Structures are given as structure tokens and as C-alpha cells.
Amino acid sequence: MTGKLLVIGFGPGDYKHITERARNAIQESDIIIGYKTYVDLVKGLLSGQQIISTGMTEEVSRAQEAVKQAEQGKKVAVISSGDAGVYGMAGLVYEVLIEKGWKKDSGVEVEVIPGISAINSCAALLGAPVMHDACTISLSDHLTPWKLIEKRIEAAAQADFVIALYNPKSGRRTRQIVEAQQILLKYRSPATPVGLVKSAYRDSQNIVMTNLLDMLDHEIGMLTTVIIGNSSTFFYDDLMITPRGYQRKYTLNQAVQPLKPHQRLQKDAEPWALEQSDEFKPDGNEAVSLTAKGTPREFAEEALRMIEGGIEGFQHPFVNQPIQTIFELAVSTGVANKKFTPKQMVTLSEVVGEEGVMEYTQDHSIKLQILTSHPDEIVRKLEEANFLISPVGDVLTVKACDFCDGEKKDAIPYAEELHERLGGMELPKELKLGVNGCGMACYGAVKEDIGLVFRKGAFDLFLGAKTAGRTAHPGQIVAEGIAPDEIVGLVERIIQEYKEKAYPNERFYKFFKRVKRVQGFSYQDITPKIKIDAAVCGE
Ligand code: SAH
């Protein structure tokens, strides 16, 4: 008979959340070793196994007993709640074995069977608070020095981890959770959402949603797990939720605009990525400096005054928690004007700040990415400085030349009207409309999705340029001499047709090629078939 150690995590406590392997392992064992409460929890699964249950603090002797029995040829189930490898018996069992010179290949067989740990079961009951980087910290200083625990809380608080506090409090250990709260308040808003889950999936289950400041007003005990949100965690309808991404993006005309999957990996869609900047730091991470020294109560009262007094960036979650977002928009000095004033440059640097991003684009505009909870304020300042503001993304952008600084000014009003009527319109894919003031077309209108060239008092219309790639080509001329008073309406109808009939993400040139006719203008296949000679290799 060969012995075996089965180190089993049986999950939060109800039979539905035990894995099949854990269930079978319990059944195939000869002996069950575990804390009495745990043995009681799995009683219904037993079929005559010998039970060795000792007190809570005798974990080492339980592990020693288990090893001894296995060495004598018994199949021994050592049970832990949750996962046996998370403040459970798995490590201890190995430590006892190693102490005795055990080797994996020659020694008694060990199988560690995973279970659902409290961080997972409690998170599920709260909503989705552990969506982002998270850690577990046990506040039990029974086997770990308090100084080390303190250091870990401090580091986790500072680094904006979602934190699951295990063993937060017991009959004798009551100060640890108070100390932990004080450390957390140094780095996080008093309004940070906190979930308290007692006895998840057991008969006495109890769930409380609170915040960092008020959490100690509720019952916290041996069977509670305390989940502290990060700086973007929020409450919604009695659920505690941490967004999957750190920031949510939005454009002017859409409050919340999650990135589409194909955009995620683009550098400009993720300004906070390593490649983009290693300095990026969301405001939410910044320390709140509380100055009160003294009792926790004085400390908490100061924090309360701070939120009631309305500190920048802090609001009570139940009132209206500000959600920090990357506000993304494009600014230019005008459809025809290409000149910046010094005041405009100063305004730009003010609104963008140290941590925002300003990027010059091919569209004669500067794209801004600003982390803020007050986009309206930013828009107001930019408008005051006479900036033209446009949304970014899959929208229509009107690009125009500088009309030779106004000398060739006849077409300017049409370009401006097009911008006013259509600029920023949401479309299946980004679309550029180029307007040039003379036949030189030096600003490249014919290379845009739709191009207008003003010549001899009327417009020439170009459709379907392929603006990038090895097979790039200009748009094809579909009409000449369109009367100025017809142009805005015509362009609007073309764009409307594209908006209605194009597939999502279908660029204008592909759409034109596919449908063959747009507003009566026909597509002609003019892509030249060029024979490419084989390269002459050096002889
Ligand atoms: N191995 C266990 C943790 C043991 S430490 C696991 O992975 O979950 C004991 C602590 O775990 C408790 O103080 C409590 O913080 C947490 N805990 C365990 N079971 C729990 C449950 N059902 N509900 C809430 N918290 C629980």
C-alpha cells in the first residue's frame, strides 16, 4: 500500500462550488485531516473516512500528522477552505516534508487540488471588483511580523492594486484592520469602494458595500474578506465594479466609447502604454495627504471634512463618483487658417498639462489626449482661445488648404460650411474630405477619400482615393464644374449614402469600388496594370 497526500481546497463552503477533483479526492482518501469547522463543512461528502480534526492554531501538527499517516501508507486528505495554496495547508505540508528530506520523485506522492479562494468567491458576490491587478494580504500577524504586513499594505496601496484582505480581524486581533485602513487612506480616496463579504456561499453569508472611510462601522470578523477597490472601482446598483481597462476613452459626441478590438493595439489608442510614455500616472494614484495625527477617529474626521469640502477629484461614490477618462479631441486653428497664435500655444500647454499627449496629425490638426473628469472645462478654454474643436475616431474630417492665406478666398465659405454641417459626423470608418482653393491642389485634396478642387468658379469632384498602402492612388475625377451652391448638398448626400450603405470599417474607396455607383457617379476601374520586371541581381 502506498500512501499519498491529497491537499485539497474545497472552495468557499457550499457543495456546488467544490471541484469534481476535490470531491473525488475526499472520497478516495482513508483519512481526513482538517480544522473542525472545515471537516463539518464537507461532512456530507464523507463515506466512513477516519477524521482527525484539531484546533485552529495547530496547523503545523496537522501537517506533521498528515505526513506521518501518508508515510505509513494511508491516503490522507488535508483540507483547507478556499484554495489550499492560499493561506492554507499546501505550503505547510511541503515544509514538513522538506524538513524530513523528502524528494519529489522518491518520496510520498503529493497532489495539491485547487479550489475557489475567498478573493474569487467574494468578488463574484460583490459584482466584479477584482478585474484589474489585485493582491491578497492576510492581516494575521500570527505567523508573519506586523512590520512586514504593514509594508505590503503600504506598497499595494501606493501601487493602486485592488486588495483582498484575508484574516482581517479576530477576537484578539482587532487593531490590524484599523491600522490597515489608516495606511490605505494615505494613498486612496476615503470614498474608495470597499466590499465586506462574510461567509461567502455559507448559511450565514452577509454582504456589505461601504467605503474606505466607513468600513469599520460594519461588522468585520474571522470569516470576512475585505475587498478594497482601486482608484477606478465604482458602485452601480449595489454592485462593486472595477473597469477592465484603466481609463475609458470618449470623444466629444459620445460619452463613453470603449475601444474596438482592432483599435486596441494601436499606439495612439493607448497613450498610457509603455512604448508611449513611461511617465504616465493617473491622478487617482496620487496621495491624499491627511495631516491629522492622533486617534483613528480624528483621522477619519479629517478625511470626512476633506470629502465634504469637495477636494479636487474626490467625491463620495454614492453621490457621483467622477470617472477619470482620457478625453480625446482634435484642435486646429481653423478650416482655412493654419497659423497659431502664441496665446493658443499657451492655452494648449495649459489644458494638456504635464501628463497629457499632444500629437501633430496629417490632418492639419493636433490631437489631444487629456486625463480628466471635466471635459467641459477643457472645451470651454479651447473655445475661448478660438480653437476649432473636432472629435476623433471614425468621423468625417474636413481638410482644407490655406487658400494661399486668403488670397484665393472664394472657396473658403464652402469649406467652412462643409465643416460646420458635416465635420465630426460619425461614419463606418474615418473619412477625409479635402477642399483645395485652386487647380494647383497643392494641399492634396485629390488624395483624400473625397476631394474638391475649386477651379474657374466651380468645383471638381474626386472620389475614392486610396490614401495609404503600396497600392495607394488618387481619387478618380467624377465631375467637373459643379456650381458652388450645389456642392455642400451634393457632398452631404454622398457622405450620407456612404454612412447608410457601407459595412462597418469599410473605407470609402472600397465602398465605392463595391457599390459601383454613388449619387449617380460611377466607379471606373482605372488602377493601371503594371508589369513589374524581376529585379536584376548583382552579377
Ligand atoms: N485558503 C482560504 C483562506 C484561508 S485564510 C482561501 O483560499 O480562501 C482565512 C480567511 O479567508 C478568512 O479570515 C477570510 O478572510 C477568508 N475566507 C475564507 N473563506 C471565506 C468565505 N467563505 N467567505 C469570506 N471569506 C472567507
What DSSP line would sit under 60-109, residue for residue? Answer: HHHHHHHHHHHHTT-EEEEEESB-TTSSSSHHHHHHHHHHTT--TTTS-E
Residue 444 Cα to ligand 1 midpoint, Å, equals 66
- Structure confidence at residue 294 (pLDDT): 58
Q: Is 332 in the pocket of ligand 1 (CB under 6 A)?
A: no
Distance (Å, whole) CA 296 – CA 293: 8
Distance (Å, whole) CA 526 – CA 144: 76
Phi first, then psi: what are they for 246, rounded to 5°?
Answer: -70, -45
Residue 182 Cα to ligand 1 midpoint, Å, equals 23
Distance (Å, whole) CA 89 – CA 60: 9
pTM for the full predicted model: 0.54
- Structure confidence at residue 430 (pLDDT): 93
Q: Are 246 and 232 in contact (CB under 8 A)?
A: yes
Q: Are 115 and 9 in contact (CB under 8 A)?
A: yes
Residue 90 Cα to ligand 1 midpoint, Å, equals 15
Q: Which residues have C-beta within 8 Å of that of residue 277, sequence separation ≥ 6?
A: 271, 357
Q: Is 13 in the pocket of ligand 1 (CB under 6 A)?
A: yes
Joined grid coordinates for residue 383? 473655445
Strand order in the sheet with 127-128: 127-128, 239-241, 234-236
Q: Is 124 in the pocket of ligand 1 (CB under 6 A)?
A: no
Residues linked to residue 161 through DSSP beta bridges, in sequence order: none
Following CA atoms 179, 162, 246, 239 in sequence, which dihedral angle do they give, to the nearest 10 degrees?
Answer: -110
Q: By C-alpha distance, which of 479, 493, 344, 337 is closest to 416?
A: 337
Q: Is 12 in the pocket of ligand 1 (CB under 6 A)?
A: yes
Q: Is 114 in the pocket of ligand 1 (CB under 6 A)?
A: no
Answer positive or negative: Cα dihedral of 236, 238, 239, 240.
Answer: positive
> Among 14, 166, 198, which residue has the most ligand 1 atoms within 8 Å of its CB, making it the best to mutate?
166
Q: Do the strands 239-241 and 234-236 form a parallel or antiparallel pair, or are they unpaired?
A: antiparallel
Joined grid coordinates for residue 79? 483540507
Q: Do the strands 431-436 and 450-455 form a parallel or antiparallel pair, or are they unpaired?
A: parallel
Ligand 1 atom index nearest CA of 226: 15
Residue 357 is classified by DSSP as E
Residue 81 Cα to ligand 1 midpoint, Å, equals 7
Q: Is 41 in the pocket of ligand 1 (CB under 6 A)?
A: no
Residue 237 Cα to ligand 1 midpoint, Å, equals 26
Distance set, CA 505 to CA 385, 420, 508 (Å) = 34, 24, 9
Q: Is 317 in the pocket of ligand 1 (CB under 6 A)?
A: no
Distance (Å, whole) CA 258 – CA 249: 6
Residue 359 Cα to ligand 1 midpoint, Å, equals 49
Q: By C-alpha distance, which of 330, 331, 322 is closest to 372?
A: 322
Q: By C-alpha distance, which of 363, 479, 356, 381 is closest to 423?
A: 363
- Structure confidence at residue 373 (pLDDT): 81
Distance (Å, whole) CA 473 – CA 315: 53
Q: Is 134 in the pocket of ligand 1 (CB under 6 A)?
A: no
Longest dimension (CA), the chain: 103
Residue 39 Cα to ligand 1 midpoint, Å, equals 15
Residue 390 Cα to ligand 1 midpoint, Å, equals 51
Distance (Å, whole) CA 345 – CA 117: 54
Q: Is 80 in the pocket of ligand 1 (CB under 6 A)?
A: yes
Which residue puts its alpha carbon closest to atom 5 of ligand 1? Answer: 87
Residue 165 Cα to ligand 1 midpoint, Å, equals 9
Which residue puts its alpha carbon closest to atom 2 of ligand 1? Answer: 82
Q: Which residues have C-beta within 8 Å of that of residue 191, sequence separation ≥ 6?
A: 211, 212, 213, 307, 314, 315, 316, 317, 321
Distance (Å, whole) CA 175 – CA 180: 9
* 442 torsion bin: left (phi>0), alpha (psi -120 to 50), beta (else): alpha
> Among 225, 226, 227, 228, which residue has the most ligand 1 atoms within 8 Å of its CB, making it the best to mutate?
225
Joined grid coordinates for residue 348? 494648449
Distance (Å, whole) CA 493 – CA 249: 30
**One digit per residue, pLDDT tens: the chain, 539 residues?**
589 999 999 999 999 999 999 999 999 999 999 988 889 889 999 999 999 886 556 788 899 999 999 999 999 999 999 999 999 999 999 999 999 999 999 999 999 999 999 999 999 999 999 999 999 999 998 878 899 999 999 999 999 999 999 999 998 899 999 999 999 999 999 999 999 999 999 999 999 999 999 999 999 999 999 999 999 999 999 999 998 875 544 444 454 445 555 665 566 666 556 655 444 344 444 444 455 555 566 666 666 666 555 555 554 444 444 556 788 999 999 999 999 999 999 999 999 998 889 999 888 899 999 988 888 899 999 999 999 999 988 899 999 999 998 888 999 999 999 999 999 999 989 999 999 999 999 999 999 999 999 999 999 999 999 988 888 999 999 999 999 999 999 999 999 999 999 887 889 999 999 999 999 999 998 766 777 777 776 54
Q: Is 166 in the pocket of ligand 1 (CB under 6 A)?
A: yes
Residue 225 Cα to ligand 1 midpoint, Å, equals 6
Please report, in angstroms and rounded to a whole number, the separation of the first and last CA atoms in the chain.
77
Distance (Å, whole) CA 352 – CA 347: 8
* 481 torsion bin: left (phi>0), alpha (psi -120 to 50), beta (else): left
Distance (Å, whole) CA 302 – CA 422: 52
